[in-house]
Chains A and B, each alone.
Chain A
């Protein structure tokens, strides 16, 4: 198991948000996490990434307990995170956005950047442009590229399709699918766009009011049922 979350309780102050979350992602697995707004999906991701501390429960990465470890240590241990919202480092160029990651996380290995640019060829002609001047879709691709430069074994994505035009969503889907086929990389995807998520994932989980209420193989969940499940 690349990621194993057990009995996770999280509270904002005294208000409990997550209740006894259990979640497992096998090596190379692709789990999508579905749920309406405000059920705690982003809170769960933030806890997995070390932004929030749980009141109880554990987060294991590759069998090692990382519950008390800071975000940067988790990334060094193989987790990559593409948080919600696409703003990167708007005052750095696209190339600098990638280099700044390469220099620490990949130990200055330039092939880490080259590999990522192969996956997102759209970024190549934009390397000299300031990240703040990119379109939404380009920014999202850059955000994913940045996370991939760290060469993660688990990539955590928070709504990568939000507010992005369909043709770019197709490109993102292709890129994720190719990455998955290449092997060695597991995914945890939070999405509102159910069809997109179910096409990519092999396992789904549904969250409601801070709990995981349903899960199973992605092929067993029809997109229409899922949409009804998520309807307000």
Chain B
């Protein structure tokens, strides 16, 4: 009976897709009614992480560019929003931390962030620009693989150090926090939490659909081709550098979008959220969920973040060890992550009339 149901589902991919969309929508609508405000805010944070994972998967999973510095792009987006929120709170005065640090007039770089119409697009465009610039300069020189990973890792370290060092400009170690208003909404109000949850869910949905569209397009195939054989793509007449720069910049843009949402949801952005360790965590979400799959990174980000919260409440010091162990397990036994495992089980369940047999049949029918 189950086998018949599965076959039915395969025959109607649209039906299955519709069911998944309906179920997801239902969950998003019902959750705010049934979970506490505290849990809802946590869920919003997980969804924001899912946006990062979706973007990172485009660069790493499909494009083969392992970035150990996506915290930088996440941070740029977050700081852009944080600056706006700080200025909205300060009115015509200076943000509180600047007065403490002895800054007497608003630094020029802060001035345009007074306007939401500047700050919010900047939260996506600044990370994209930085990624494009970085990509254009290193991909052209064929820096890739471990060297690229190390370079991005160093960038994350440098970015965090820079943020800590520029106390008067960035809020230093404390970062930007204590926002008294969130886009005209009152922080901590249940209604605000709900609105931010819907915003995070919408961002995750948009990111998912955009990346799915990209992956299924001509560009997506080309990106996979570049991942599998960059030089071969060059020998076939493509500018592989351009393909990589575009994918990397899009990936950074999604990280920036996530950062922009993270700030109002969590209420703080500090160097601890953007440096080396968070950047590696982002890679762990994708690895555990399953890179180069569409749903894997989303599931990875949600599950790993949830496990983080759950375990930290119960046994605070254990999380780092468990996360390290999960990563090792994923790399050694499930290189394609949870999505790969799910695939394997599905193939086992559907063995009669599997795709392989269909392929052979097609082969036999052709000349």
Spell out A's residues near B (CB within 8 Å): 49, 51, 70-72, 75-76, 80-81, 83, 87-92, 96-97, 99-101, 103-105, 121, 124-126, 128-129, 146-147, 149-150
A101-B237, A146-B236 as given contacts; A128 in contact with B362, CB under 8 Å: yes
Interface residues of B in 180-234 (CB under 8 A from A): 218, 221-222, 224-225, 227-229, 231-232, 234
CB-CB nearest 4 A-B residue pairs: A75-B237, A105-B237, A71-B234, A81-B235
Contact status B229-A70, CB under 8 Å: no
Residue B363 interfacial (CB < 8 Å):
yes
- Which residues on the B side are within 8 Å of A147 (C-beta)? 235-236
Contact status B235-A71, CB under 8 Å: yes
A49 partner, pick from B229, B235, B239, B366, beta carbons under 8 A: B235
CA distance A119 to B231 in the complex (A): 25
Contact status B359-A129, CB under 8 Å: yes
- Which residues on the B side are within 8 Å of A83 (C-beta)? 231-232, 235
Name the distance in Å between B235's Cβ and chain A's nearest Cβ.
4
| 21 A-B pairs (CB sep. < 8 Å) | A49-B235, A51-B234, A75-B235, A76-B237, A80-B235, A87-B229, A89-B232, A90-B228, A92-B221, A96-B221, A97-B225, A100-B218, A100-B221, A100-B225, A100-B236, A104-B222, A105-B237, A125-B363, A126-B363, A128-B359, A150-B237
- Which residues on the A side are within 8 Å of B238 (C-beta)? 72, 104-105
Contact status B224-A89, CB under 8 Å: yes
B366 partner, pick from A99, A101, A125, A149, beta carbons under 8 A: A125
Residue B4 interfacial (CB < 8 Å):
no
- Which residues on the A side are within 8 Å of B229 (C-beta)? 87-89
Contact status B237-A104, CB under 8 Å: yes
- Which residues on the A side are within 8 Å of B231 (C-beta)? 51, 71, 83
B225 partner, pick from A76, A89, A105, A128, beta carbons under 8 A: A89
Residue B353 interfacial (CB < 8 Å):
no
- Beta-carbon contacts of B342-367 to A below 8 Å, as 1s and 0s? 00000000000000000100111011
Contact status A70-B234, CB under 8 Å: yes
A83-B231, A87-B229, A92-B228 as given contacts; A124 in contact with B366, CB under 8 Å: yes
Name the distance in Å between B168's Cβ and chain A's nearest Cβ.
45
- Which residues on the A side are within 8 Å of B240 (C-beta)? 72
Contact status B236-A103, CB under 8 Å: no
CA distance A149 to B359 in the complex (A): 25
Name the distance in Å between B15's Cβ and chain A's nearest Cβ.
24
- Which residues on the B side are within 8 Å of A90 (C-beta)? 228
- Which residues on the A side are within 8 Å of B366 (C-beta)? 124-125
Spell out B's residues near A (CB within 8 Å): 218, 221-222, 224-225, 227-229, 231-232, 234-240, 292, 359, 362-364, 366-367
Name the distance in Å between B261's Cβ and chain A's nearest Cβ.
32
A91 partner, pick from B218, B228, B236, B364, beta carbons under 8 A: B228
Which residue of A is nearest B292, CB measured?
A91
- Which residues on the A side are within 8 Å of B222 (C-beta)? 100, 103-104
- Which residues on the A side are within 8 Å of B225 (C-beta)? 89, 92, 97, 100
Chain A CB count within 10 A is highest, among B228, B232, B367, for B232
Name the distance in Å between B242's Cβ and chain A's nearest Cβ.
9
Apart from A80-B235, A150-B236, 16 more pairs, CB < 8 Å: A51-B234, A70-B234, A72-B240, A75-B236, A76-B237, A83-B235, A91-B292, A92-B228, A97-B225, A100-B222, A103-B218, A104-B222, A104-B236, A146-B232, A147-B235, A149-B236
Contact status B221-A99, CB under 8 Å: yes
- Which residues on the A side are within 8 Å of B235 (C-beta)? 49, 71, 75, 80-81, 83, 147
Name the distance in Å between B240's Cβ and chain A's nearest Cβ.
8
Contact status B237-A72, CB under 8 Å: yes
CA distance A176 to B359 in the complex (A): 30
- Which residues on the B side are within 8 Å of A88 (C-beta)? 228-229, 232
B228 partner, pick from A80, A89, A125, A126, beta carbons under 8 A: A89
- Which residues on the B side are within 8 Å of A129 (C-beta)? 359, 363
- Which residues on the B side are within 8 Å of A89 (C-beta)? 224-225, 228-229, 232
Name the distance in Å between A47's Cβ and chain B's nearest Cβ.
14
Name the distance in Å between B356's Cβ and chain A's nearest Cβ.
10
Name the distance in Å between B216's Cβ and chain A's nearest Cβ.
12
Chain A CB count within 10 A is highest, among B221, B235, B240, B359, for B235
Name the distance in Å between B215's Cβ and chain A's nearest Cβ.
12
Chain B CB count within 10 A is highest, among A80, A88, A101, A124, for A101
Which residue of A is nearest B367, CB measured?
A124
Which residue of B is nearest A82, CB measured?
B235
CA distance A146 to B238 in the complex (A): 13
CA distance A108 to B217 in the complex (A): 14
- Which residues on the B side are within 8 Å of A70 (C-beta)? 234, 239
Which residue of A is nearest B236, CB measured?
A101
Name the distance in Å between B256's Cβ and chain A's nearest Cβ.
29
Which residue of B is nearest A90, CB measured?
B228
CA distance A147 to B227 in the complex (A): 18
Contact status A125-B236, CB under 8 Å: no
CA distance A89 to B233 in the complex (A): 9
CA distance A91 to B222 in the complex (A): 11
CA distance A75 to B238 in the complex (A): 8
